[in-house]
Amino acid sequence: MNSMYMSLTNAPSKQASLTCKNISPLDSYFKRCQASKPQFTRIFFQVSKRKKRIVCQVNMSAQSTAGQVIRCKAAVAWEAGKPLVIEEVEVAPPQEMEVRLKILFTSLCHTDVYFWEAKGQTSLFPRIFGHEAGGIVESVGEGVTHLKPGDHVLPVFTGECGNCRHCKSKESNMCDLLRINTDRGVMLSDGKTRFSINGKPIYHFVGTSTFSEYTVAHVGSVAKINPAAPLDKVCILSCGISTGLGATLNVAKPTKGSTVAIFGLGAVGLAAAEGASIAGASRIIGVDLNPNRFEEAKKFGCTEFVNPKDHNKPVQEVLAEMTNGGVDRSVECTGNINAMISAFECVHDGWGVAVLVGVPNRDDAFKTHPVNFLNERTLKGTFFGNYKPRSDLPSVVEKYMNKELELEKFITQQVAFRDINKAFDYMLAGEGIRCIIRMDA
Ligand code: NAD
Ligand code: ZN
């Protein structure tokens, strides 16, 4: 048996095979080999009437790069608001409880743009942005047991350590260790970056930094998903779509027949509208300053539209008039403080619930009259739609696989990695919904 194993580990090609009569002892033997030699990414059998053949596929790239520094392309933001520059960066191997990922597809979310613009946000440069992505585990650091090279994964900007009070609570996804932190640009284990150019550190963003062919993440910020799921589609579940969907289904929880207002009809808001539609809301009112969004939003269940610019009174009053006193639920997906206040003040007294999703500027303050609360309105907020990334995201991917959730309609553009700045242009111009950035192009 050992000689067979040796011949496979030393195989010069990516695939090696053996012919034998009885497969079952080999099956368990190779599973054991795979556990100790993670570069064995696939083992399968070919059975014909007379011969049984075991084929072991060896991932040669993992074999040659694990434990080594990888040089690859990354889109580096050197300064606030300046186009990203494709640079050759060095990506250090993953340390304790970290994994190194090969990113295959990433997309742009408005949160990347805010921190890149750094107008009302903490600025930390040079930095590699990106947090909505899909990829494959290239190698794992010490102590990592539940991920191995070859696993298909979605990195998530807010993690799940699995051990803290939040991770153990059914109500929270605000992990003590790995919750979103937009100020930190280094890894938790040693306070250092894994990215560098000629020894100069390049900072991370929200523990994901997916605008790089390879990135390093804490194992708790990486969700393992069904390997059959197409990464060029499900990558958008790693932030925007799950966030919007969860904000409605897990937090606002509209009942069948209710009226829901969605502020902001970008990817997050449209996913929130989709959630309202899944929940059986009868009226879904889309609110946006960009009227180009309205036609598209019908595909996501929006039944009516309001452009605040068309009215000379606050939009919350317009909505109250349209709905006999206020909507049952509202979900704010703009990041604009005035929209946040309107989203709260437009819900019906007695039972209305508003959910804030948009990321505000650092100095924003939420101001409303306390009587709005006394009148029995509820204000909530959420990151990642209250989904626990590692525990819950795989089942959201399954919703797509089972055709309960359509993702294609969110994907309006695709660009090659070298053209990543075009994705920024589309978002700043309010064109399209999600733009997929292909790392191999
Ligand atoms: P997007 O730019 O694609 O969409 C935002 C939409 O809001 C645009 O259509 C814009 O015209 C509209 N808008 C802006 N100001 C408005 C106002 N005052 N009134 C009405 N509409 C207004 O952005 P996106 O990627 O869909 O993200 C939406 C927001 O959600 C951003 O603030 C983003 O940072 C945030 N976000 C939060 C989380 C979370 O976990 N909480 C996750 C992802 C994104
Ligand atoms: Zn935790």
Tens-place pLDDT, residues 27-36: 565 555 554 4
Domain residue limits, the chain: 70-238+407-438, 241-383
Is 122 an annotated catalytic residue?
Answer: no
Give the span between the Cα atoms of 366 and 251, in whole angstroms.
20
Is the distance from CB of 103 to CB of 72 less than 8 angstroms? no
Q: What is residue 362's DSSP assignment?
A: T
The pLDDT value recorded for residue 119 is: 86
- Residue 75 half-sphere exposure, CB side, CA atoms within 13 Å? 27
**Position 54 pLDDT exceeds 60:** no
Active site residue 333: no
Task: Name the residue with higher pLDDT: 274 or 26.
Answer: 274
Q: Are 261 and 396 in contact (CB under 8 A)?
A: no
Tell how far CA 51 is from the center of its chain.
46
Q: Assess whether the C-beta atom of 384 lies below 6 angstroms from ligand 1.
A: yes
- DSSP three-state, residue 335: coil
Q: Whole-angstrom distance between the N-terminal and C-terminal Cα of the chain? A: 42
Identify whether the C-beta of residue 54 lies closer than 8 Å to the C-beta of residue 23.
yes
Mutation pick for ligand 1 pocket among 359, 362, 380, 382 (CB with most ligand atoms within 8 Å)? 359
C-alpha 57/C-alpha 128 separation (Å) is 33
> Band of the pLDDT at 4, cuts 50, 70, 90?
very low
Task: State yes or no: is 239 an active-site residue.
Answer: yes
Neighbours of 360 (CB within 10 A): 18
Identify the pLDDT of residue 441. 76
Residue 11 has pLDDT above 80, yes or no: no
Catalytic residue among 106, 111, 210, 248: 111
If pLDDT is split at 50, 70 and 90, which confidence band does 20 have? low
For residues 282 and 302, give the distance between their C-alpha atoms in angstroms, rounded to a whole number. 10
Q: Which fold has domain 70-238+407-438?
A: Quinone Oxidoreductase; Chain A, domain 1 (3.90.180)
CATH code of the domain occupying 241-383? 3.40.50.720
Per-residue DSSP letters for 19-41?
Answer: EES--HHHHHHHHHHHHH-TTEE
**Amino acid letter at 124?**
L
* Residue 148 beta carbon below 6 angstroms from any ligand 1 atom: no
The predicted structure's pLDDT at residue 123: 85
Distance 322 CA to ligand 2 centre (A): 43
Contacts of 102 (CB under 8 A, 6+ apart): 135, 136, 137, 138, 213, 214
Q: Residue with the nearest Cα to atom 7 of ligand 1?
A: 264
Which atom of ligand 1 is found nearest the CA of 287?
20
What's the pLDDT at 30?
56
The mean per-residue pLDDT over the stretch 146-161 comes to 97
Q: How far is the CA of 354 from the centre of ligand 1 (A)?
A: 15
pLDDT on residue 55: 55
Judge if the beta carbon of residue 290 lies within 6 A of ligand 1.
Answer: yes
